[in-house]
Structure 1
Amino acid sequence: MSQKDTGLPGGPTEQATIGTLVGRLSEQISRLVRAEIASAKTELTTKAKGIGIGAGLIAAGLVFALYALGVLLYAAVAGIANALPLWLSALIVGVALLLVTGILVGVGVKLLKKGTPPKPEITVNSIKDDVTAIKEGLKS
């Protein structure tokens, strides 16, 4: 019964042919490239989701700003037309809406900055490590 060389340490001591080694190298590089592409897709998808959420929060912040502007305009009109309590309460609501707007836009901008530029940094570093490891392996 013959044993097949698996190419793993501790395997059979038979010498693999150059063709076998080249075939294994080709297969391993192919698997490595596919894995790196999958990693890049995953990383870009994650960043794109962050950008989408950030843009959504900015849009929500702008909607709140629109409502805040309406309330503040109403507060100015009510303040001129009536006594203090009506416009003061409207002013308090308007300022609260502006605070919510500031928080939403701030968080949205932070998420946009975190996700841009949408390049797969982790995958790029992984590929650099792979290339370095292959170069070191060829030198040995």
Structure 2
Amino acid sequence: MTGTTTPGPVRDEHHSVGELVNQATEQLSRLLRQELALAKEELAAKGRRAGRGGGLLGAAGAFAYAGLLATAGTAIAALSLVLSVWAAALIVTAVLFVIAAVLGATGRAQLRKAAPPTPEEALGSVKADVEEIKERAHR
């Protein structure tokens, strides 16, 4: 006898409808978990960047406030050469409050226009996944 072998069991490449549905459900579940993980990571990264930026802006604001106080003192001293000290202080205080009101109104308007933070990459990926699933479903 020469080296003839008997063929092994032939693997059936056809799956039952139940197996296909189960497989599709598992794949969809895995896809959703991956998309949620992507969205979570994207929002965490944006949050870290926003935290660092906010801290730096806070420090800049503290130094700007100290500079503003020094400038106000200088303006009062300069105006007191022409007016009495109380009048110079009153004028500088009024100007500072007007500037604060304008900045506050502008900031409030900007906050109203701000869009809520969304995980844009993850949403785009989910939309692409949905389109792909729709395409395959129609085939």
Which structure has the higher relative contact order (CA within 8 Å, separation 6+)? 2
- What are structure 2's unaligned runs of at least 5 residues? 1-7, 81-110
Q: Secondary structure at the match of 1:118?
A: coil
Once residues 65 and 41 of structure 2 are traced to their aligned partners in structure 1, the CA distance between those partners, rounded to angstroms, is 36
1:104 alignment counterpart = none
Q: Secondary structure at the match of 1:128?
A: helix
Once residues 2 and 46 of structure 1 are traced to their aligned partners in structure 2, the CA distance between those partners, rounded to angstroms, is 52
The percentage of counterpart residues that share the same residue type is: 39
1:54 alignment counterpart = 53
Computing the radius of gyration over CA atoms, which structure comes out larger, 1 or 2?
2
Structure 2 residue 27 is the aligned partner of structure 1 residue 28: yes
Structure 2 residue 38 is the aligned partner of structure 1 residue 19: no
After superposition, the C-alpha distances for 1:25-62 in whole angstroms (9 at most, x for unaligned) are 01100100000000000111111122212221221121
**TM-score normalized by structure 1?**
0.60
Give the length in aligned residue pairs: 100
1:84 alignment counterpart = none
Residues 27 and 2 (structure 1), Cα distance of their counterparts in 2 relative to 1, 3 Å cut: farther
CA-based RMSD: 2.7
Amino acid at match of 1:121: E
Aligned partners of 1:48 and 1:118 also within 8 Å: no
1:117 shift after superposition: 2.5
Amino acid at match of 1:62: G
Aligned partners of 1:40 and 1:120 also within 8 Å: yes
- What are structure 1's unaligned runs of at least 5 residues? 4-11, 82-111
1:63 alignment counterpart = 62
Aligned partners of 1:40 and 1:123 also within 8 Å: yes
